[in-house]
Structure 1
Amino acid sequence: MLRKLSLALAVSCASNGMAWAAEAPLSNKTDLVSVYQEAVDNNADLAAARAQYGAQKEVVPQARAGLLPNLSAGADLNNTRTELDQPAMTATRSSTVYQATLSQPIFRADRWFQLQAAKSVNEQASLQLSATEQNLILQSAEAYFNVLRSQDNLASTKAEEAAFKRQLDQSNERFDVGLSDKTDVLQSQASYDTARANRIIAQRQVEDAFEALITLTNRQYNSIQGVVHTLPILPPAPNDAKAWVDTAAKQNLNLLASNYAVDAAEDTLRQRKAGHAPTLDAIAQYRKGDNDGLGFTNPSPTGQRYGGDAEQRTIGLQLSIPIYSGGLTSSQVRESYSQLTQTEQQREGLRRQVVENTRNLHRAVNTDVEQVQARRQSIISNQSAVDATEIGYQVGTRNIVDVLDAQRQLYTSVRDYNNARYDYILDNLRLKQAAGTLSPEDLQALSRYLKPDYNPDKDFLPPDLAQAAAEQLRSRPTQ
């Protein structure tokens, strides 16, 4: 009699006889929060973003310097040789002058608006860094769950290969005793070969997923903790797309950064317009040197020339009124108008994109909830279909192609179920990122549903599905 191959049996064959790699010790399994912490400490993109912010925030002290006093000191050392033809005479004169100049801007509208623009740029850079840090939370989760997704996919593929291998063995046994023809053997062999090829690809995908995790954190991992099947699959709270969009409009970090980009462009425009305004500076200067260097050429009141050192002290106001600079200022104003328009349109485009993403992700999470439930039931139904088809094959009402197709549909539904689970987890995190509320606490909450002794070859399916399939099969009348 043909032995019926249940899903539980296939899982057992895959986990015992076709293990992809030896299970790492329990203590070596890494959890989600640990991966995130390693990413924070070692991620190259985050380190580059922090360095970029360190450079960008210097625009504020640089702009402020234009409104603060400026003190400079220097010295002039000159040697002048004069030759006269009539009468023939040569004179050489040396002079040394030391000076210090203090300048304090009193009215510099352009520099004031430049400082305001710099402050907006600094706030924009700070928010962009925060957005990068927040995105690392999502990147860590994506890399982590992509490993789990690929491991579960490999486990189901190995179980499928084991199922087709056993089906091939049974077809050979039936052919040897004359219960089936060569066609059944060839069909089983083709299905087994395809499943084996798929298993090889799935094995490579696991390795690729681990490589992505290593790239993110610069750390090696033997194995990671998996998600239990009791993870609550719930709609987003609140389950109102408008509420999520309103939150995103107020808290999305990239959108908030774009607001400061517009503020910076507006202040830059004011700075350019201020190029038409006069400037006023207070100047204080001190000079000391010999009289030739200071320009003392008149004799003293006694009729004698003074040949010693002299000092000059100057205090005054310096007013500058721009009249014409070749059209430079007007051109810069027009340039800033265009740049402001560009920045405003970029902000509007980003706002629309944030609204679209938030609504789409809200729908995605709700769809994922239904998908997980439907895919779970699909496994039960397909398992029942496999059992019924194998019974029909035994009594001659079904052929080997029907059996193979039923098994293929079963393992497709298994992969669809696991994909739906991980899509639900990641779409939830993406929705929170779009709304600007994603934080490390969300990873902490997910960690409560991680299984330290997770074994993909055994745990890629809920443990109660085989029993549910058997009950469903018994509850239906046989044809």
Structure 2
Amino acid sequence: MKLSKLLKNTWPSRRSANSLVAVCISASLGLPVKAADLLNVVDVALQRNLSLSSAETNLAATEYELDINRGKFLPSLNVSANTNWNDGTTHKYSSSDDRNSYNNHGVNVTLTQSLFDLGDIYSHGSTQTDIDIESLRTEQTRQQIIREAATAYFEYLKNQAQIRATQAELDSSEARLTLINRNIELGNVAGTERYEVLAQKERTADSLRTLRKDQRIILNNLANIVQQPLKPDFDLQSSIQFEAISSARQNELNSIMYTSDLTLLIAKQEVNKSRQVLRETGSTFVPSLKGSIGYTYDNTNDASAKIYPDKGVTEETVYTLTLDVPILNGGRDYYRYQLNKVDIDRTEIDLQNSKNFSQQQFDEFIYNINDFSASLTSLTTIIQANYASYIGIQKAHKLGTRTITDLLSAESKLYGSIRDYESARYDYVINLIQLNERIGNLNMATVGKIAEQMSPMGDDSSQSPIPLHLMVQ
């Protein structure tokens, strides 16, 4: 099956909140690391990754903003009530004072409805655009996590292949050093041969230490992405065809990118939002219309009242239609409008910049993938040639016709070409994953097509560092 075949599909994801502290404690206590295949690692990352949880929470919060904004189109009802106790005394010269104590109370009900306000309409559109942007950013975060988890998985496999080849080279160097020391003791070879072998052995040991250090870093990075310790347990099958992407397929993928690349879609929505905000700002120069109905009931409860209303009760219903025409507010709306016009220019520049960057990355991934495809063909021939050369020089060295320097050089070339071959295989897949993300097509279905071409890893000690399937002529 060809790894270069890309699918366009969507896949639902799940998420759950888990404590990063628990993960750190598990790692620090050295708890067992669970082996997992590629799909399992990506699925766990989508469930547990905190960045995705944060993005989904932010999207949910933005959706409430739309509900809040929608309230501007609905009527508002206000009710108010009051009560007062009145205690008064009228002082007289010719008679006794009049004392009057009573309670008055009332209630007011007002129903208000906005009939026409362009600002509310455009503000609602801006809020909807915000939700669209956050939805795209959430999906972008999801694809980013898939890419990070899958990339870390294959970085581990690449590192493991490098360790396997370097360990085999070190074992060969140690065995050769032991043999040289024995021959020197027996007087069969000159003592100077030992130093070249020792130097190569130490260089190889140093490289192996660095690779093992890198492996710990990769596993820590993978654990941080999936929020739990996991160890890749599946590897690419040896029968995979790493083919180049044809020109026709490149044009097809390029077209997909301009319609599905999440970075471009977000930039386009930012342009739409800036235009929506400009319309909202321009609406401040347009009259608005509002209607209201108010009912008031007031009861003075004054038993001594001698004038109208003689019962102390007043009822009133008021119908109001308000036309608000903006005239002048110191120029603030005008300059805000000009500011938003400039902001449209900025978002359009950002959109063009995003297009240029996306195209640059797309081309780079295509170049890398096709280069790795060609390199794997060349490296196959190089490994076969270096292997044959190494075997021949090894035999010639035993016969005394080739020096130890020739043998060490041949061995270094062989293992070096093996490491280059293994790196090219995994880098091909990593760039393929990154290409899928660039065109907005990285999902569980895409990862699943790669996982189908992977098999459980065997015991490292039983695996040959030399790709034996390449030795078949």
TM-score bracket, shorter-length normalisation: 0.7 to 0.9
Which residue of 1 is the match for residue 261 of structure 2? 252
CA distance in 2, matches of 1:303, 1:206: 97
TM-score (norm 1): 0.83
Compared CA separation, residues 68 and 196, structure 1 to 2 (3 A): same
Residues 67-78 of structure 1 aligned to structure 2 (within 5 Å): 67-77=73-83
Match of 1:140 in 2: 149
Task: Tell me, in whole angstroms, the C-alpha distance in 1 between the residues paired with 2:418 and 2:89.
Answer: 104
State the distance in 1 between where 2:248 and 2:89 align. Answer: 96
- Aligned position for 2:453: 449
C-alpha distance after superposition, 1:243-293 (max 9, x if no partner): 322221112122122212211110110000111111110111122233599
Structure 1 residues not aligned, in runs of 5+ = 1-24, 294-298, 469-479
What is the deviation of 1:238?
6.2
Quote how far apart the aligned CAs of 1:84 are.
Answer: 11
Residues 35-434 of structure 1 correspond to what in structure 2 (within 5 A)? 35-77=41-83, 95-236=104-245, 239-290=248-299, 303-306=307-310, 308-434=312-438
1:326-355 CA deviation, whole Å, 9 max, x = no partner?
A: 222112212211222211111111111111
Give the alignment partner of residue 463 of structure 1, picking from 447, 462, 468.
468
1:442 counterpart SS class:
helix
Q: Deviations along 1:347-390, whole A, 9 cap, x unmatched?
A: 11111111111122122211111112222222222222322332
Q: Which letter maps to 2:287? A: P
In the aligned structure 2, how far is the partner of 1:199 from the partner of 1:78? Answer: 90
Query: Displacement, 1:183?
Result: 1.7
Alpha-carbon distance change, 279 to 378 in structure 1, aligned in 2, over 3 angstroms: same
When the two chains are superposed, the root-mean-square deviation of aligned CA atoms in Å is 3.0
Asked if the contact 1:29–1:452 (Cα under 8 Å) also holds between the matched residues in 2, the reply is: no
Q: Which one-letter code corresponds to 2:74 in the other structure?
A: L
Deviates most, 67-76 or 108-117: 67-76
Q: Could you tell me which amino acid in structure 2 is paired with residue 462 of structure 1?
A: P
State the SS of the aligned residue for 1:106. Answer: strand
Higher mean displacement: 224-233 or 397-406: 397-406
| Helix, strand or coil at the partner of 1:205 | helix
Structure 2 residues not aligned, in runs of 5+: 1-31
Shift of 1:442: 1.7
Q: Distance in 2 between matches of 1:58 and 1:390?
A: 74
Kindly provide the amino acid, as one letter, of the partner of residue 194 in structure 2.
V
Cα gap change, 1:239/1:205 in structure 2, threshold over 3 Å: closer, same or farther? farther
Could you tell me which amino acid in structure 2 is paired with residue 50 of structure 1? E
| Displacement of 1:92 | 8.6
| 1:459/1:161 CA distance change after superposition, 3 Å | closer
Amino acid at match of 2:317: R
CA distance in 1, matches of 2:245, 2:90: 97
Amino acid of the structure 2 residue aligned with 1:46: L
In structure 2, relative to structure 1, the CA distance for the partners of 1:179 and 1:441 (3 Å cut) is same
Residue 29 of structure 1 deviates from its aligned partner by 4.0
Secondary structure at the residue paired with 2:230?
A: coil
Amino acid at match of 1:367: D
CA distance in 2 between partners of 1:85 and 1:123 (Å): 73
Q: Structure 1 stretch 239-248 or stretch 107-116: which is displaced more?
A: 239-248
Question: For the residues of structure 2 that align with 1:313 and 1:232, how far apart are their CA atoms?
Answer: 83
- Relative distance call for 1:94 and 1:374 in structure 2 (3 A) is farther
The Cα shift of 1:89 comes to: 11
> In structure 2, what is the Cα distance between the partners aligned to 1:397 and 1:429?
49
Give the % identical residues. Answer: 19
Distance of 1:189 and 1:90 partners within structure 2: 119
Distance 1:92 1:153 in 2: 99
- CA gap of 1:385–1:248, structure 2 versus 1, over 3 A, is same
Distance change >3 Å, CA 262–CA 146, structure 1 → 2: same
Q: How far did residue 223 of structure 1 move? A: 4.7
Contact 2:396-2:402 within 8 A present in 1 as well:
yes
Match of 1:16 in 2: none
Structure 2 distance, partners of 1:292, 1:341, is 66
The 1:312/1:171 distance shift into structure 2, 3 A limit, reads same
Contact 1:210 1:221 in 2 (8 A): yes
Residues 238 and 469, structure 2, Cα contact 8 Å, conserved in 1 = no
Deviation at 1:162, TM superposition (A): 0.6
Change (3 A) 1:85 1:416: farther
Q: Is the 8 A contact 1:368 1:423 kept in 2?
A: yes
Q: Give me the whole-angstrom Cα distance separating, in 2, the residues matched to 1:271 and 1:212.
A: 46
What is the letter of the counterpart of residue 287 of structure 1?
T
Q: Distance in 1 between matches of 2:313 and 2:414?
A: 103
Aligned to 2:198, the other structure's residue is in SS state helix
Q: Note if contact 1:33-1:447 (Cα within 8 Å) is conserved in structure 2.
A: yes
Instruction: Count the aligned residue pairs.
Output: 437
Partner in structure 2 of residue 22 of structure 1? none
Of stretches 184-193 and 129-138 in structure 1, the one that deviates more from structure 2 is: 129-138
Give how far 1:242 is off: 2.9
